[in-house]
Amino acid sequence: MRLSLANAKQAADRVHEHTTSPPDGNSQRRLGAALVDLLAHRLDSDSTTRVPCKRDNPKTSAGNAAAIYRDGSMTELTIVDIYWTERTKFQYDAERQVYIPPSTSSMDGNGFYCIYGRHPVYDPDVLLYIGETKETESGRSFRDRIGEHLKGRFWYHANLSVALGSPDSNQKLLPQEVRLVESILVAAHKPALNRLHIDCAMEGSEHFLVRNWDFPDALQHECSGYYWRQ
């Protein structure tokens, strides 16, 4: 059932009228009917902004386009599925006073990563930073990029751990697309130590829908670039 805005206002007025008048059998029935009409309008309004996507078998939908209804037309969104590993703690070398990145083979890959640890204001174990490393000719891996972090602004943080996120293998993201997806993740989760894109994702990210799978931990399961560009 589709109600116009005018009909919805009439339904709301009827609800107000019947809640302020003395109760009787007829008024209660009329109140019930008014509530049904008002709820129908709310459900119909909500349905226009829902983004449909397949969740039963995400690997078959990687790179497919979802659709969102806005400004009277349908806009396509490119789905980016990211598969996250469980968190791995950094080992601390007390003699050298340095953190040592995990020795797992996944550290030789590239994609997205989340660094967790203690923050003096927020909590002993919070999301500190979201970053990315692209598959380029330089071949900078997770190990290389995270090693750079540990030599810089992260060396004085404690209880550090990392989760690695790999985009679906069937979907090859261009370097600019990697940056756009990273900006969506940062805007949606606002890590303590990220500086850019905290308030708003990059221009162009409105065309992407990011879905986090396996072990997303502190991450939302779904982040819309369209939402975080507003």
pTM score, whole prediction: 0.71
Q: Which of 37-46, 62-71, 204-213 reaches the highest mean pLDDT?
A: 204-213
Q: How far apart are CA 141 and CA 65, in angstroms?
A: 29
| 14 band by pLDDT with thresholds 50, 70 and 90 | low
Tell me which of 13 and 87 has the higher pLDDT.
87
Q: How far apart are CA 183 and CA 181, in angstroms?
A: 5
* Cα-based torsion angle of the residue sequence 161, 164, 165, 166 in order, rounded to the nearest 10 degrees: 180
Q: How far apart are CA 151 and CA 220, in angstroms?
A: 29
Instruction: For residues 86-94, give the mean pLDDT.
Output: 93
Phi then psi for 88, rounded to 5 degrees? -120, 130
User: For residue 154, what pLDDT is reported?
Assistant: 83
| 54 band by pLDDT with thresholds 50, 70 and 90 | very low
Domain ranges of the chain: 5-47, 58-228
Q: How far apart are CA 127 and CA 165, in angstroms?
A: 14
Q: How far apart are CA 129 and CA 113, in angstroms?
A: 8
Mean pLDDT computed over every residue of the chain: 79
